[in-house]
């Protein structure tokens, strides 16, 4: 189920929030190699084996899974290792982070506009594999040989709607807010029978959070953080599905347990190095080693740190963008100056050509005049030559006549 726009689990200003501070998720899948990926908001994490998923390890969904939208509703991995994602009425199928196909949720023959979670159950024979689609207090069991999906009502103490679910070997992990349930896979293969499931905290068991994280954000320890959450829940979230009550429980292992009561369902969680002061009716306010406003101080500090970091990043980004803009403007100015110089050179060349053309035209005019003068002289010479030829002919004729008579 995608996160709402309110609450501490929201991604502030586009930045991922620590999973150990608000351990709620949108979806979780188990890859074919056993790697667990958890999705929340616009980011996803690869869940380490012995360390918490840190903010610095968060990756953008839309960057790593090209074509996939953020703020998912559900996801599962099938027998072949293909990853199937759900958001609203859309479904995407990926293979090795490459989008293979996408289609509508209606292809599963379920009449809903969106789902809360999804699980793929692998049976000994592939024809008996089943897909579970969860919505509110119901789930649909879909098999290849079934003509229509089998709609089942989940009875018992599971708080619905669930946020996410994932199948690991023969166990299904169902997540709701800060808690999770473990249910054997065969329980879904048969007809659902009402039974009581024991919710557990996901901080330590799933997300590997440790006391160092809570020291870093100002709570001192996980115990103090848990007590602050309990106080906050009693004072500000009485309508929430989980109503905290905290008291110490000792055992023979020299550890301190924290007993939480959720709507009548008791849960005993054991954590080392958790300091809780005993009291006849629970925890004495006067004997607590933390400050009453520690929770809000921690949240405020985290929020202010996020804002300051964002402002610094924005300023640095703005400075870099301004520097790049100035460099681009300088480069453009150089290009413009070179263009102007080239244009001036071209204009000068054109002017020279025009002057040369004018000079050539004047020279051609002079040549034409000279040619005309030469033509006139040539005609005069021809006329003189013809006259000379006539005179010569006359002289020769007279000489011939004289020679005859003599």
Q: CA 402, CA 406: separation in Å to the nearest integer?
A: 6
Q: CA 388, CA 395: separation in Å to the nearest integer?
A: 11
pLDDT number for residue 209: 86
Q: Looking at the DSSP assignment, which residues form a beta bridge with residue 83? A: 77, 94
Q: CA 200, CA 260: separation in Å to the nearest integer?
A: 10
Low-confidence ranges of the chain (pLDDT < 70): 1-14, 230, 232-306, 308-319, 405-406
Q: Are 52 and 209 in contact (CB under 8 A)?
A: yes
**What digits encode the pLDDT tens for the residues 87-127?**
999 999 999 889 999 999 999 999 999 999 999 999 988 88
Token pair recorded at residue 334? 């150089």
pLDDT number for residue 334: 87
| Domain ranges, ordered by start, for the chain | 19-209, 309-380
CB atoms within 10 A of CB 285: 10
Q: How many residues does the chain have?
A: 406
- Which strands sit side by side in the sheet containing 43-46, from one edge to the other? 27-30, 36-40, 43-46, 59-60
- Which strands sit side by side in the sheet containing 74-77, from one edge to the other? 74-77, 83-87, 90-95, 98-104
Q: CA 369, CA 385: separation in Å to the nearest integer?
A: 24
DSSP character string of 47-70: --SSS---GGG-EEHHHHSTT--S
pLDDT number for residue 303: 66
Closest among 84, 101, 98 to 37, alpha carbons compared: 84
Closest among 1, 262, 24, 25 to 157, alpha carbons compared: 262
Q: Looking at the DSSP assignment, which residues form a beta bridge with residue 172? A: 167, 183
**What digits encode the pLDDT tens for the residues 6-33?**
334 444 455 788 898 888 999 999 999 9
Is pTM beyond 0.75 here?
Answer: no
**Domain 19-209 sits in CATH 3.10.450.750:** no
Q: Which residues contact 297 (CB under 8 A, 6 or more apart)?
A: 218, 291
Q: CA 206, CA 178: separation in Å to the nearest integer?
A: 11
Q: CA 139, CA 311: separation in Å to the nearest integer?
A: 45
pLDDT number for residue 182: 94
CA 138 to chain centre: 31
Q: Are strands 200-201 and 246-250 parallel, antiparallel or unpaired?
A: unpaired
| SS3 state at 73 | coil
Q: CA 165, CA 163: separation in Å to the nearest integer?
A: 7
- SS3 for 88-125, per residue? CCEEEEEECCEEEEEEEHHHHCCCCCCCCEEEEECCCC
Q: What share of the chain is helix, strand, coil (3-state, %, to 5)?
A: 40, 25, 35
């Amino acid at each position: 189920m995608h996160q709402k726009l309110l609450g501490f689990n929201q991604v502030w200003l586009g930045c991922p929030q620590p999973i150990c501070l608000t351990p709620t998720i949108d979806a979780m899948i188990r890859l074919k190699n056993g790697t667990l990926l958890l999705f929340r908001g616009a980011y996803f994490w690869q869940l380490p084996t012995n360390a918490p998923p840190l903010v610095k390890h968060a990756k953008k969904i839309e960057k790593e899974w090209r074509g996939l939208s953020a703020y998912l509703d559900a996801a599962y991995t099938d027998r072949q290792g293909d990853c199937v994602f759900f958001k609203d009425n859309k479904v995407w199928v990926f293979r090795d982070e490459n989008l293979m196909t996408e289609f509508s949720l209606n292809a599963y023959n379920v009449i809903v506009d969106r789902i809360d979670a999804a699980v793929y159950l692998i049976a000994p024979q592939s024809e008996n594999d089943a897909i579970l689609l969860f919505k509110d207090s119901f789930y649909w069991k879909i098999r290849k040989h079934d003509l229509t999906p089998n709609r089942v009502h989940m009875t018992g103490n599971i708080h619905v709607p669930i946020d996410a679910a994932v199948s690991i070997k023969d166990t299904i992990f169902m997540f709701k807010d800060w808690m999770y349930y473990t249910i054997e896979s065969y329980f879904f293969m048969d007809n659902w029978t009402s039974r009581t499931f024991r919710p557990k905290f996901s901080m330590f068991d799933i997300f590997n959070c440790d006391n160092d994280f809570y020291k870093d954000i100002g709570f001192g320890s996980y115990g103090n953080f848990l007590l602050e959450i309990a106080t906050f829940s009693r004072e500000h979230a009485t309508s929430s599905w989980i109503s905290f009550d905290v008291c110490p429980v000792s055992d023979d292992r020299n550890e301190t347990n924290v007993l939480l009561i959720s709507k009548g369902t008791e849960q005993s969680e054991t954590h080392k190095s958790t300091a809780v002061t005993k009291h006849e009716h629970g925890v004495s306010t006067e004997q607590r080693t933390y400050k009453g406003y520690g929770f809000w101080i921690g949240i405020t500090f985290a929020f202010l740190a996020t804002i300051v970091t964002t402002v610094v990043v924005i300023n640095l980004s703005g400075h870099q963008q301004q520097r790049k803009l100035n460099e681009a403007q300088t480069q453009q100015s150089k290009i413009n100056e070179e263009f102007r110089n080239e244009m001036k050179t071209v204009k000068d060349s054109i002017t020279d050509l025009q002057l040369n053309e004018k000079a050539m035209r004047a020279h051609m005019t002079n040549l034409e005049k000279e040619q005309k003068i030469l033509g006139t002289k040539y005609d005069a010479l021809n006329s003189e030559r013809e006259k000379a030829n006539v005179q010569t002919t006359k002289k020769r004729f007279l000489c011939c006549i004289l020679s005859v008579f003599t």
